[in-house]
Amino acid sequence: MSHIDRRTFLASTAAASVVAVARPLSAKAPELLIPQGVKPIVVASANGHRYKNGGAKTGVEIAFEKITKGDDVLDALIAGVNLCELDPADTSVGYGGLPNHDGVVQLDASCMHGPKKRAGAVGALEGVRTPSLVAKAVMEQTDHHLIVGKDAQTFARNMGFKIEDDLNTEQSRKTWLEWKRRTDPSRYLDPIKREAAMNDVVRQMVKEGLIDEQHVYGTINCDGINAKGEICGVTTTSGLAWKIPGRVGDSPLVGCGLYVDNDTGAAGSTGRGEEVIYINGARTVVEYMRRGASPEQACLDALKLIAARYGNDREKLKDIDVNFYALNKRGEFGGAAIWNGSMNSRGELRRRQFAAHDGREGRLFESAYLFERRG
């Protein structure tokens, strides 16, 4: 076999490469996936555009502004949800969130960074108003995804977070005391009757305006994408109102209350966490988008899995409230709920909504839905 020196070898391979691309014009050229600029988008649960904590901007407006100024997408989203966590008027998250059965505010949060492929979360955290920032510290300072309970508080303390004895506000404590007063007479009922009695009390308190119907389950989810196509997400909550101490829902569970895939999109949820956990909700929404569904349709398809568990029986589903929010790699977004809304004491329908900054302004959008309430 003849010897081929390096110069001859390089020349021959270069010639071969020229031949390889010199195909007839009629041949189909390979498809090139060239990244294109994406319009920045922020999508969130409705409270992302309802609270300002005394300032001029809502959470989605703050997040969008920071994204378009070049901030890291996750930092921008967390700044947006911090507004709700710190606002005592939002009783679904952070400071002043509705407490557990014993009157203690326990908080859950998770965050995911698409480009970095990292995640962090905390569960049943007490004493820190901004659990989303503690979740980010878990992501950045450890190789873990989730830290819970008293050890989550210890971790937060070690990271320099201020620990407070009580995160109740006067309003959240007053609401809890009223709930205790109404439910204690049914303390000795069997479990099924007790659950029904507690649901009746909650419905009545909602009708009387004592609590926001959407704050029974709490939570804010916020997802965003920048012009580079970088996607991140965060979910934070005070959890189910008056829950059993230590109960953790979907919000801090990666793939349930939040999921981000930088190649596809992001999704998150609010509402009854146990239902979302059962179907691995946020991951399921992202997978539907991966297969080609729009964000709105992906949310609806995931909700159909929940409804199917109950045979699509409206009576069995009447107390089940789940909402999904999603955006994809192209900057398209959507939201959907099991129900079109809820009825107030005057028989008026309050429609399900979600928040977004669509590049022009932050505003509320009506959610798609599976079922209509008829009074």
pLDDT at res. 190: 55
Mean pLDDT lowest among 92-106, 196-210, 312-326 = 196-210
CA distance 60 to 43: 7
pLDDT at res. 254: 97
Residue 18 has pLDDT above 50, yes or no: no
Q: Using 50, 70 and 90 to split pLDDT, how confident is the model at 36? A: low
CA distance 316 to 31: 50
Instruction: Determine whether 128 is exposed, middle or buried from the number of CB atoms within 10 Å of its CB (0-12, 13-18, 19+).
Output: buried
Residue type, 221: N
The pLDDT of 137-141, averaged and rounded, is 98
CA distance 341 to 359: 27
The pLDDT of 55-67, averaged and rounded, is 98
Assigned token pair, 121: 């979360």
Mean pLDDT lowest among 71-80, 236-245, 278-287 = 236-245
The pLDDT of 145-166, averaged and rounded, is 97
Partners of 224 in beta bridges: 42, 232
pLDDT at res. 308: 98
pTM for this prediction? 0.82
Choose from 2-16, 34-48, 86-100, 182-196 the range with maximum mean pLDDT. 86-100
Domain assignments of the chain as residue spans, ordered by start: 41-371
pLDDT at res. 194: 62
Q: Which residues are catalytic?
A: 219
pLDDT at res. 207: 63
Q: Using 50, 70 and 90 to split pLDDT, how confident is the model at 20? A: very low
CA distance 292 to 25: 31
Instruction: Write down the mean pLDDT value for the chain.
Output: 87
Residue of 133, 135, 164, 167 whose CA lies nearest to 148: 135
Q: What is the pLDDT of residues 317-364, one digit of tens each?
A: 998 999 999 999 999 999 999 999 987 767 788 899 999 999 999 999
pLDDT at res. 282: 98
- Residues above pLDDT 90, as percent of the chain: 73
CA distance 113 to 233: 7
CATH fold of 41-371 reads Glutamine Phosphoribosylpyrophosphate, subunit 1, domain 1 (3.60.20)
Q: Using 50, 70 and 90 to split pLDDT, how confident is the model at 177? A: confident
Q: Using 50, 70 and 90 to split pLDDT, how confident is the model at 293? A: very high
pLDDT at res. 356: 98
Do residues 214 and 98 make contact, with C-beta atoms less than 8 angstroms apart? Answer: no
CA distance 296 to 370: 12
Q: What share of the chain is helix, strand, coil (3-state, %, to 5)?
A: 35, 20, 40
pLDDT at res. 211: 56
Higher pLDDT residue, 178 or 21?
Answer: 178
